[in-house]
Structure 1
Amino acid sequence: MAKYRVDITEPAENYLVDIVKYIASQWSAPFSALDMMDLLEEAMTGLSELPQRCPVIRDERLSQMGYRKLIVKNYFVFFSIDEKNKVVNVERILYVRRDWLRIL
């Protein structure tokens, strides 16, 4: 089985940093913030093997763009797959209650 390279875009990386900062400061839980970061990073790294296991988003516009969604606790990891180059592009990480259809 071919492995995929996982690339994390700048918006996704920035939101990951924001998640950690928010949990650490608003909840006064720095260890929980680091645990969440580790969990998200592990989930994204796991996309290197069989990223097709995550469904294509049902929205017509986003499905045409090839966006898929991975659920990690209270966050959605949005990504697309470049089959030709065997690359998974992590586009965004968003809190599940955000209006992600409008944001994406």
Structure 2
Amino acid sequence: MDKYKVRLNQQAFREIDDIFSYIALEKLSPENAKGQTDRIWAALKKLETFPQSHQERSEGRYAGKGYRQLLIDNYIAIFKIDESSKTVYVVTVQYQGRNV
């Protein structure tokens, strides 16, 4: 089985930091913030193996452009696979209620 590299763009990194900050500071729950971001990082790491198993994005601005989605609790990661370099590019990680 091929193993893929998982790469996040700066926006995705910033969004994960924002998720942590929102839960820790706005919701006053640093423990939950750490737990949530740990689950996000663990789920993204699993994209190393068989990222094609995730659903293609069918709505929003990433629909019909070859992007796939990974649901993580109440969050969604949107990514594209480059088969030639065996790389998964994560472009955004957002709360599912947002229009992505």
> Structure 2 CA distance, aligned partners of 1:18 and 1:63?
24
- Match in the other structure for 1:49: 49
- Match in the other structure for 1:38: 38
Which is richer in helix?
1
The percentage of counterpart residues that share the same residue type is 33
Change (3 A) 1:25 1:68: same
Deviation string, structure 1 residues 7-40 (Cα, Å, up to 9, x no partner): 0110000000000000001111101100111000
- Match in the other structure for 1:96: 96
- Match in the other structure for 2:16: 16
Normalised to the residue count of structure 2, the TM-score between the two structures is 0.94
Change (3 A) 1:60 1:40: closer
SS in 2 for 1:47: helix
Q: Give unpaired runs (5+ residues) of structure 2.
A: none
How much is the aligned-residue C-alpha RMSD, in angstroms? 1.4
Give the drift of 1:65: 2.5
Say which is worse superposed, 20-29 or 57-66, in terms of deviation. Answer: 57-66
Whether contact under 8 Å (2:6, 2:47) holds in the other structure is yes
Give the drift of 1:66: 1.3
Give the drift of 1:64: 4.0
Amino acid in structure 2 at the alignment position of 1:55: Q
Whether contact under 8 Å (2:58, 2:64) holds in the other structure is no
Q: How many residues align?
A: 100
